[in-house]
A and B are shown apart, each in its own frame.
Chain A
Amino acid sequence: MIESLLPTRSARAIVGWSIVAAILVLLWVLVDNNYYLRLLISAGIAMIGVIPFGLLMGHMGYMAMGQGGFIGVGAYVVGCLTVQRFEIDIWAALPIAIMVVGALAYAFSFALFRLRGYHFSIGTLALGQLLYLAFDSWEWATGGPHGTSGIPRPAIGEFVFATNSRFLIIVSVFVFLAGFTSWWLARGHVGRALNAIRQDEDLAGARGLDVLRYKQLIFTFAAVWAGLAGGLYGSMQISIDPSSFTIWGSFQYVIYVIIGGAGTLLGPVIGVIFITVLDQLIADVGVWNQMILGALIVITVLFFRGGLWGGIRMLWALALKNRSADRSAVSTQAGAAE
């Protein structure tokens, strides 16, 4: 039915992302509790990082486990430039943070993409840990274990995005931009190249595709958005320290994609929403919290390879099939009666 109403993929994507943006706006209007607003901001920041990461992990099939490090670099560059060593405006610090993370990711991509499969995952894990150690020990820039405090909220003229409801506006804009740029990349020749790399990268190379260039492009793209998410995270938290950028942060990105559904842009978004809601529901069960999450991942991997989004689409397709079967049965009966 969706295909008949919206015949092109572009139309479906525009409607889909408009619905996501509309939900964010609706939540912004309806939610006035500060706790829930912070939850929405955290979820939005996670989406900014994880939607582009979905291209790397889902579309291209490279499970990077060091995104937490890039988030940290983004946060610390903003922290260093705005309070720790310099006092420049956060609107200038954010693009610099993006460029630093991009340059770092691109430089490391040469070594990392000599690896494949789980070797690549371990390589990125090591990079994430290396960056964590740098946050913890490079006191001049990061403040060491004590971290950096006083990171400002952005402002446009006199209008400071100081309150959570105002800050959510900025986050929502970047969620939309992260979604739009990722969709734009995934729909054309880049998307075709990423899918080919996931299916058989040796064959793609033998058919003339510059595989390394596309791998580096998407790795850097995902890192840049993770850096921006980190900068916004620093601004939201005001104070950051290395404990926010451990391996667990990187694992969370992987979990969002697996639970939500790899290979689609909306899957990681659903993953973030699901985990955020689940965290709230099982916040009081102590250590069981992690065990429930672990069990869910195992169940998803075993029974729902397409994640929650894949499950929704499967059920939708099944419902449509049943409905058309019912209709044809009714028309057959009517024909027989005539």
Chain B
Amino acid sequence: MDPILEIRDLSKRFGGVEAVKAVSFDVPRGSLVGLIGPNGAGKTTFVNLVSKHESPDTGSVLLDKRPIHRLPSFKVARAGLARTYQKNRLFFEESVSENIRTAMIWGGAAKHQDLSYPGLKGKEEERTAELMEFFALTAQRDALPSGLSHLHRRRAEVAQALALAPKLLMLDEPFAGFSREEAFDLIDHLKVCQKGGLTMLLIDHNMEVMLEVCEYLFVMHHGALLASGTSAEVRANPEVINVYLGAET
């Protein structure tokens, strides 16, 4: 396995609460892996630590063999790790196209020659237009985020993250508020990007979708890594059944 992301003993404590406890795992290059766990399992804190929205107390994070755990968040983004948020976040005073273009400018020009998903080639305007077309946002190009539907806002956020031309995209609860059809519509778009070389780490508690979509899953509980494996292995894991699926009885 050629890992693009290597997490080693990542820990974070907030006062008396140990939000993330010595989590270690690898994400294979080009894969679509999932991180699941019940509410309060520490998933979002974990994402915040990897993307450097929070600094870990201990542990290390390597992106493409390069340590990123001591870098500020903007350098992590420029190194090729983009993320989206549990609660949709866009610049609310900027139009959809400005939101995408701005990230493109700050993230730097597309620099990863081995990638080939939409929005990587050409000038900023062409890349922005291509990303908007890919996510069916062209009609909303001048709209403010407040004027968009939840579906379009989520698509715009993913397009903005992809504008950084990342090697790895972490999506925090991307399917929240989505119907099954809408969730799979977004997955179809993400799979196109995966074919173009993008690695993705999905964080969600929509078990049904996650087990169906992800090639490999990690399960967190009380801040620690409880289990990992393919969907079949996770489904069959008694510990996971006990703490997450609640099907023990």
Binding site for B on A (CB under 8 A): 189, 192, 195-196, 199-200, 202-212
Residues of chain B within 8 A of A210, CB atoms compared: 72, 74
Least CB distance, B94 to chain A, in whole angstroms: 8
Q: Is B105 an interface residue (CB 8 A)?
A: yes
Residues of chain A within 8 A of B93, CB atoms compared: 195, 199
Check B92 against A199 for contact (C-beta < 8 Å).
yes
Check A192 against B73 for contact (C-beta < 8 Å).
no
Query: Which one of A199, A200, A207 lies within 8 Å of B77 (CB-CB)?
Result: A207
Q: Is B178 an interface residue (CB 8 A)?
A: no
Known: A192-B102, A196-B102, A199-B92. A206 touches B77 (CB 8 A): yes
Check B53 against A208 for contact (C-beta < 8 Å).
no
Which residues of B142-184 are within 8 A (CB) of A?
160-161, 163-164
Query: Which one of B51, B72, B94, B106 lies within 8 Å of A212 (CB-CB)?
Result: B72
Which residues of B216-234 are within 8 A (CB) of A?
none
Check B91 against A196 for contact (C-beta < 8 Å).
yes
Known: A195-B93, A196-B102, A200-B89. A208 touches B72 (CB 8 A): no
Check A202 against B91 for contact (C-beta < 8 Å).
no
Q: Is B103 an interface residue (CB 8 A)?
A: yes
Residues of chain A within 8 A of B90, CB atoms compared: 203
Known: A189-B105, A192-B102. A209 touches B89 (CB 8 A): no
Least CB distance, A116 to chain B, in whole angstroms: 13
Least CB distance, A1 to chain B, in whole angstroms: 22
A interface, by DSSP: helix, strand, loop or mixed? helix
Q: How far is it, in angstroms, between the C-alpha of A200 and the C-alpha of B85 when the chains are bound?
A: 12
Residues of chain A within 8 A of B91, CB atoms compared: 195-196, 199-200, 203-204
Check B53 against A207 for contact (C-beta < 8 Å).
no
Q: Is B83 an interface residue (CB 8 A)?
A: yes
Q: Can you offer 24 A-B residue contacts whose CB atoms are under 8 A?
A: A195-B91, A195-B94, A196-B91, A199-B91, A199-B93, A199-B94, A200-B89, A200-B92, A203-B89, A204-B91, A205-B53, A206-B73, A206-B77, A207-B103, A207-B161, A207-B163, A208-B77, A208-B78, A208-B103, A208-B108, A208-B164, A209-B106, A210-B74, A211-B74
Check B108 against A207 for contact (C-beta < 8 Å).
no
Top 10 A-B residue pairs of the complex, sorted by shortest distance between their CB atoms = A208-B106, A208-B107, A205-B73, A207-B103, A208-B77, A209-B106, A205-B74, A199-B91, A203-B89, A208-B78
Residues of chain B within 8 A of A199, CB atoms compared: 91-94
Q: Which residue of B lies closest to A201 (CB)?
A: B73
Q: Is B137 an interface residue (CB 8 A)?
A: no
Binding site for A on B (CB under 8 A): 51, 53, 72-74, 77-78, 82-83, 85, 89-94, 102-103, 105-108, 160-161, 163-164
Of A203, A205, A206, A210, chain B has the most CB atoms within 10 Å of the CB of A206
Query: Which one of B53, B82, B108 lies within 8 Å of A202 (CB-CB)?
Result: B53
Query: Which one of A195, A204, A206 lies within 8 Å of B83 (CB-CB)?
Result: A206
Q: Which residue of A lies closest to B79 (CB)?
A: A208
List 8 extra interface pairs beyond A207-B82, A212-B72, CB under 8 A.
A195-B93, A195-B94, A196-B91, A203-B85, A207-B102, A207-B163, A208-B77, A208-B164
Residues of chain A within 8 A of B77, CB atoms compared: 205-208
Query: Which one of A196, A206, A212 lies within 8 Å of B53 (CB-CB)?
Result: A206
Q: Which residue of A lies closest to B100 (CB)?
A: A207
Residues of chain B within 8 A of A200, CB atoms compared: 89, 91-92
Q: Which residue of B lies closest to A189 (CB)?
A: B105
Least CB distance, A15 to chain B, in whole angstroms: 25
Q: Which residue of B lies closest to A213 (CB)?
A: B74
Q: How far is it, in angstroms, between the C-alpha of A202 and the C-alpha of B84 when the chains are bound?
A: 11
Residues of chain B within 8 A of A196, CB atoms compared: 91, 94, 102
Residues of chain B within 8 A of A209, CB atoms compared: 74, 106
Least CB distance, B101 to chain A, in whole angstroms: 10
Q: How far is it, in angstroms, between the C-alpha of A192 and the C-alpha of B106 when the chains are bound?
A: 11
Residues of chain A within 8 A of B160, CB atoms compared: 207
Q: How far is it, in angstroms, between the C-alpha of A192 and the C-alpha of B164 when the chains are bound?
A: 17
Q: How far is it, in angstroms, between the C-alpha of A204 and the C-alpha of B160 when the chains are bound?
A: 11
Q: Which residue of A lies closest to B73 (CB)?
A: A205
Q: How far is it, in angstroms, between the C-alpha of A189 and the C-alpha of B102 when the chains are bound?
A: 9
Q: How far is it, in angstroms, between the C-alpha of A196 and the C-alpha of B160 when the chains are bound?
A: 14
Q: How far is it, in angstroms, between the C-alpha of A16 and the C-alpha of B161 when the chains are bound?
A: 38
Least CB distance, A248 to chain B, in whole angstroms: 33
Residues of chain B within 8 A of A203, CB atoms compared: 85, 89-91
Q: Which residue of A lies closest to B92 (CB)?
A: A199
